[in-house]
């Protein structure tokens, strides 16, 4: 399996007559993009498209998802299979990437659980999406009383459609760089790199249901048994976020597309280990589901003869139980583990960080304490609804001050404690 990512580096955004890219500037025909997302009858009549650049005095709130514009120009299937395109297998051929650009879905989204992106100031240090050139979609429901699940789906689709559209309009442009990824099938992988340990990536996805959902080829992941996926499929958007949970540690579609664990494992493949496969698993709410999925996922790892797995969590609290079950079940099958999570140690950092624990979890990296409090100074421009800061997870009544500053836990900042490890934040014990 070979996938080439043809990267067009985007450094500027502008509105113009024709959507396309030239000289590092992504020009967007605002009307055309608005027409595209307005096609959805579930969205309201007053939608907006705006631009937020790194360094701008702009706050985007509340943010639902971030998506990187990609479009396949060669090979089977199309980006975001099962969502904006057919369900065919992706991960081979050539895909155009508008590197440095992102689509951000915002506006009054669902309730409570959405995030903040500051494009400058102290908050910008914490979110990786302050460093992307953001095309911001300001969304609203067709009617305020509509079913929240329908509205979530409409917002999710709007982001994906916009991202696919932007990259499709740039498909003819010349790429600044091309990256080639080869990934062996299981037969080859079993005999490749003799002497190196065979390893996998156990990729946990938030699937608690009720607006906490992730989709694989359009399939609702809470309804699947753990399965194997090639890392190259993930790059083509096989995994899509449908989550309305705490912003800091939900995995945006963008970070799935750019999964840094996969990236580093591919870099070290053939040198430190033999990277055989990703195993996608879910984080369901019932104990039977947790037991079934953790047993099944670790069984797959054992069937494939893996010596070790890296396990990443999504979310916190309830999914800590899934993380811990995956960990000890793998270890007891003789499969070594390293875990990637984040912490909820209280605002003072003095409480225990995880809701579950096991002695086998002796190699654990954390992306920081999400309860730590930060003051975000006022920004000149707010895209969205600033008052949502008082009700989003990580905020409280009074988070938004009269001068426009916001005092919140890092929990409220999109991607601040990414459990795919997309930031440099961590924590230590003092």
Partner 1 sequence: MAYRIVHYINQFYAGIGGEEKADVTPEIREDVVGPGLAFKAAFGTDAEIVATVVCGDSYFASNMEKAGAEIIGMIKKYEPDAFVAGPAFNAGRYGTACGAMCEAVSKEFNIPAVSGMYPENPGVELYKKSAYIIETPDSAAGMRKAVPAMAKLLLKLLAGTKLGTPAEEGYIERGIRKNKFFGKLAADRCVEMFVAKLKGEPFVTEYKMPVFDRVPPQPAVKDMKNAVIALVTSGGICPKGNPDHIEASSASKYGEYDITGVMDLTSDKYCTAHGGYDATYADADADRVLPVDVLRGMEKEGVFKKLHNKFYATVGNGTAVASARRFGAEIVGKLVADGVTAVILTST
Q: Which residues are catalytic?
A: 244
Minimum CB distance to partner 1 smaller for 6 or for 256:
256
3-class state of residue 309 by DSSP: strand
* Stretch of 38-46, 68-76, 159-167, 203-211 lying at the interface with partner 1 (CB under 8 A): 203-211
Record the tokens describing residue 179, joined without a space.
């990256």
Residue 302 binds to partner 1 (criterion: CB under 8 A): no
For partner 1, the binding residue among 136, 138, 199, 389 (CB under 8 A) is 199
Minimum CB distance to partner 1 smaller for 35 or for 272:
272
Closest to 127 (Cα-Cα) out of 374, 416, 426, 419: 416
Cβ burial, residue 355 (10 Å; 0-12/13-18/19+):
middle
Q: In sequence order, which residues have a C-beta less than 8 Å from that of residue 300 and are 6 or more positions away?
A: 226, 227, 228, 279
Q: In sequence order, which residues have a C-beta less than 8 Å from that of residue 424 and are 6 or more positions away?
A: none
Record the tokens describing residue 156, joined without a space.
């999710």
| Shortest separation between residue 139's beta carbon and partner 1, angstroms | 18
Residues 229-288 that bind partner 1 (CB under 8 A): 244-246, 259-261, 263-265, 268, 272-273
Residue 371 binds to partner 1 (criterion: CB under 8 A): yes
Residue 340 binds to partner 1 (criterion: CB under 8 A): yes
Q: What does each C-alpha distance from 104 to 140, 231, 348, 365 come to in angstroms?
A: 14, 24, 32, 28
| Shortest separation between residue 415's beta carbon and partner 1, angstroms | 11
Residues 387-416 that bind partner 1 (CB under 8 A): 391-398, 409-411
For partner 1, the binding residue among 175, 367, 383, 386 (CB under 8 A) is 367
CA distance 313 to 205: 7
For partner 1, the binding residue among 73, 173, 358, 385 (CB under 8 A) is 358
For partner 1, the binding residue among 12, 112, 227, 407 (CB under 8 A) is 112
CA distance 359 to 331: 10
Residue 306 binds to partner 1 (criterion: CB under 8 A): no
Minimum CB distance to partner 1 smaller for 47 or for 354:
354
Helix (H) or strand (E) holding 395: none
Whether the upstream peptide bond of residue 62 has omega within 30° of 0, thus cis, is: yes
Counting residues that bind partner 1 (by CB under 8 A) gives: 87
Residue 429 binds to partner 1 (criterion: CB under 8 A): yes
* Stretch of 1-9, 115-123, 129-137, 369-377 lying at the interface with partner 1 (CB under 8 A): 369-377
Residue 303 binds to partner 1 (criterion: CB under 8 A): no
């Amino acid at each position: 399996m070979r996938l080439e990512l043809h990267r067009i580096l985007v450094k500027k955004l502008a509105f113009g007559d024709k959507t396309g890219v030239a000289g590092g500037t992504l020009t967007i025909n605002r009307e055309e993009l608005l027409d595209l997302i307005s096609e959805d009858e579930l969205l309201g009549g007053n939608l907006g498209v705006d631009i937020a650049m790194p360094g701008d005095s702009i706050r985007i709130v509340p943010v639902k998802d971030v998506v990187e514009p990609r479009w396949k120009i060669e090979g089977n299937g199309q980006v975001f299979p099962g969502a904006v395109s057919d369900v065919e297998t992706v991960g081979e051929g050539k895909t155009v990437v508008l590197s440095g650009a992102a689509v951000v879905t915002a506006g009054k989204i669902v309730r409570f659980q959405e995030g903040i992106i500051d494009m400058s100031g102290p908050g910008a240090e914490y979110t990786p999406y302050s460093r992307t050139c953001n095309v911001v979609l300001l969304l609203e429901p067709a009617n305020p009383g509509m079913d929240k699940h329908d509205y979530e789906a409409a917002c999710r689709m709007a982001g994906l459609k916009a991202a696919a559209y932007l990259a499709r309009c740039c498909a003819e442009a010349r790429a600044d760089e091309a990256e080639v990824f080869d990934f062996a099938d299981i037969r080859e992988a079993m005999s490749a790199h003799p002497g190196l340990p065979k390893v996998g990536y156990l990729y946990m996805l938030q699937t608690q249901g009720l607006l906490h959902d992730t989709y694989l080829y359009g399939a609702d992941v809470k309804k699947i048994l753990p399965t194997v996926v090639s890392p190259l499929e993930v790059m083509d958007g096989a995994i899509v976020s449908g989550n309305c949970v705490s912003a800091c540690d939900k995995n945006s579609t963008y970070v799935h597309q750019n999964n840094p664990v996969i990236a580093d494992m591919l870099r070290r493949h053939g040198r430190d280990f033999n990277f055989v496969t990703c195993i996608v698993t879910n984080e369901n709410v019932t104990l039977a589901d947790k037991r079934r999925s953790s047993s099944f996922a670790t069984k797959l790892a054992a069937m494939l003869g893996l010596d070790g797995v890296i396990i990443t969590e999504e979310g916190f609290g309830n999914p800590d139980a899934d993380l811990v079950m995956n960990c000890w079940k793998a270890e007891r099958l003789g499969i070594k583990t390293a875990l990637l999570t984040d912490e909820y140690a209280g605002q003072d950092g003095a409480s225990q960080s995880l809701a579950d624990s096991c002695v086998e979890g002796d190699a654990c990296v954390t992306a920081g304490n999400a309860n730590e409090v930060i003051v975000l100074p006022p920004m000149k421009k707010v895209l969205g609804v600033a008052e949502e800061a008082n009700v989003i997870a990580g905020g409280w009544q009074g988070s938004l001050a009269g001068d426009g500053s916001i005092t919140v836990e890092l929990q409220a900042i999109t991607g601040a404690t990414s459990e795919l490890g997309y930031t440099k934040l961590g924590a230590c014990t003092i």
